Amino acid sequence: MFEANDPNSIQLTADGQLRHFLTTEGLPRELLIEILDTADSFVDMGEQQVKKVPLLRGKTVANLFFENSTRTLSTFELAAKRLSADVLNLNINTSSTKKGETLKDTLMTLQAMHSDMFVVRHADSGAAHFIAQHVTPNVAVINAGDGRHAHPTQAMLDMLTIRRHKGEFAPLKVAIVGDILHSRVARSQIHALRTLGVHEIRVIAPKTLLPRHIEALGVKVYTEMASGLRDVDVIMMLRLQKERMQSALLPSEAEFYKLYGLNRDKLAYAKPDAVVMHPGPINRGVEIESEVADGPRSLILDQVTNGIAVRMAVMSKAMSGQLSQRAATDNASREA
């Protein structure tokens, strides 16, 4: 486990620009809105004949995935290529870390190859912060998910999806349902939703899948679906994180689906125009029934499309912040 305290001391430049993107926690609302606005301009790029802009031309992005995730890796790779960057995907299963090399040694090797950005996914909480603390000043670090801690780009693509379908955040009631205890997505969503001014955030889960003192994050806690989903505008389902469960926290998947799986009957508790989201991959018949996942109120495929745009926005803003900081450092050195 890595330390991940005071992230904004390293993820923002002196003038408030994005230097690294490690967590949504503590970031100013203005910066989150800037990311969403920038992403909005990229959403329709996939439908254009030429799907590239030169914002990262000449830059090298290294995807360091110490934990498997086909969807996140592929969208980051596509986002980097659409920004015209060169992309290096590190195969962790055959990398030197499997042969005993330390994470810090691996980073130094990659930096010697003159990489400009690391996109990091790791099973240990705080890993992205550790890397950001040890990279050279000219490397930006993007957190693609670390342990149970944070998944900030997932949260931001969810925010973009909500904004594009619901408009203003302020009037909304949002319910996050499922395995809150093990979910880095839920934590990042809650921080982003609070910062963007959502009227009410609810979490719905069995008591065994709720973190202690979750109310301190500014959410309302429900342990059954009928009251938790009543009159909500957005339902954000979560995947059961079975790989992170260290004990039997549920009687069975069938029992979980019976009580907390989203089907047509439970969806009826929400507002008639409520939308349904899921970060994927979906466990059909465990968290959600196919009729709802594939139905007209589902935004799951929209989330995938918006994920590319958000990751393009984050990468371009982080690189811009790095260049700004480097220029300020060079000016200070000349004046000295």
Q: Is 121 annotated as a binding residue?
A: yes
Q: Is 99 annotated as a binding residue?
A: yes
Task: Name, in order, each residue with C-beta under 8 angstroms of 242's C-beta and a sequence gap of 6 or more.
Answer: none
Q: Is 197 annotated as a binding residue?
A: no
Q: Is 281 annotated as a binding residue?
A: yes
| CA–CA dist 171, 240 (Å, integer) | 29
CA–CA distances in Å: residue 174 to residues 58, 77, 94? 41, 30, 42
Task: Decide: 31 and 290 in contact? Cβ < 8 Å.
Answer: no
Task: Name, in order, each residue with C-beta under 8 angstroms of 56's C-beta and a sequence gap of 6 or more.
Answer: 80, 83, 84, 85, 116, 315, 316, 319
Q: Is 182 annotated as a binding residue?
A: no
Sign of CA dihedral 240, 243, 245, 248: positive
Q: Is 114 annotated as a binding residue?
A: no
Q: Is 239 annotated as a binding residue?
A: yes
Q: Please give the full DSSP string across 309-321, using - where no structure is assigned.
A: HHHHHHHHHHHHH
CA–CA distances in Å: residue 163 to residues 92, 193, 244, 306? 36, 11, 31, 11
The two structure tokens encoding residue 282: 């979906």
Q: Is 184 annotated as a binding residue?
A: yes
Number of H helices, E strands in the chain: 12, 9
- Residue 179 CB coordination number (10 Å): 26
Residue list, annotated binding site for L-aspartate: 99, 184, 239
Residue list, annotated binding site for carbamoyl phosphate: 71-72, 121, 151, 154, 280-281
Residue list, annotated binding site: 71-72, 99, 121, 151, 154, 184, 239, 280-281
